[in-house]
Structure 1
Amino acid sequence: MPKKLLTGLVTSDKMDKSRRVEIDRKVKHPKYGKYVQRRTVCHVHDEQNESHEGDTVEIIECPPKSKLKRWELVKVVAKSQVVDIAALRAAQKAQEKADSAAQGEEETAQG
């Protein structure tokens, strides 16, 4: 039997060489017939730490690597376009401090 190949979204990259990937699917409700959204959570082995939170990845079945890890990363299909606003603001403040310090040094050298 061939190995399953699935595509999902990385929801956690806090572990080293491990990722939590969610695969969304729609299932018909047995009684009401309405389609309900469900998700499958897979723990994936990522040897090079190449995927990050928000990325779309392709994963494949593999023999168990640990208690939860039963999947391996094949490739990163699409990188996340999310911008980390907190990191952006921190970098901006650091740049402003560096600019003001450089300006202060120029004034003392001239005066």
Structure 2
Amino acid sequence: MALKERIGTVVSDKMDKTVVVAVINRYPHPTYKKIVSKTTRYKAHDPENSCAMGDRVKIKETRPLSAHKRWAIEEILNKTIKNKEDKK
């Protein structure tokens, strides 16, 4: 069985070595054919704490690392530019 991969955006990085990644899945509604968006949030392992909020990342499926963590950061696709004035 191949490991699953997802691309999403980091929405929370407040935990140690863990980030929450939101993945948006778009699909047509079966009856009305309107494009519907569904957001799924995955907790992913980030061993170096290198991800920040807003980063676009690729996550891959892994063995269970905790009660809710079954994904790991594979690579960071786009880094968010941090602004010093935002922290004030």
Q: TM-score, normalised by structure 1?
A: 0.73
1:29 is aligned to 2:29: yes
Q: Secondary structure at the match of 2:43?
A: strand
The alignment's C-alpha RMSD in Å is 1.4
| Bigger share in helix | 1
Alpha-carbon distance in 2 for matches of 1:84, 1:24: 29
Contact kept in structure 2, 1:57 and 1:77, CA below 8 Å: yes
Q: Which has the higher strand share?
A: 2
Aligned position for 1:107:
none
- How does 1:4-15 map onto structure 2 within 5 Å? 4-15=4-15
Q: Which residue of 1 aligns with 2:81?
A: 81
Q: Distance in 1 between matches of 2:23 and 2:57?
A: 10
| Structure of greater relative contact order (alpha carbons < 8 Å, 6+ residues apart) | 2
Query: Which residue is 2:17 aligned to?
Result: 17
Paired positions, count: 88
**Displacement after TM superposition at 1:18 (Å):** 0.4
The residue type equivalent to 1:70 in the other structure is R
Q: Distance in 2 between matches of 1:17 and 1:81?
A: 21
Partner amino acid, structure 2, of 1:71: W
**Which stretches in structure 2 are left out of the alignment for 5+ residues?**
none
Structure 1 gaps, min length 5: 91-111
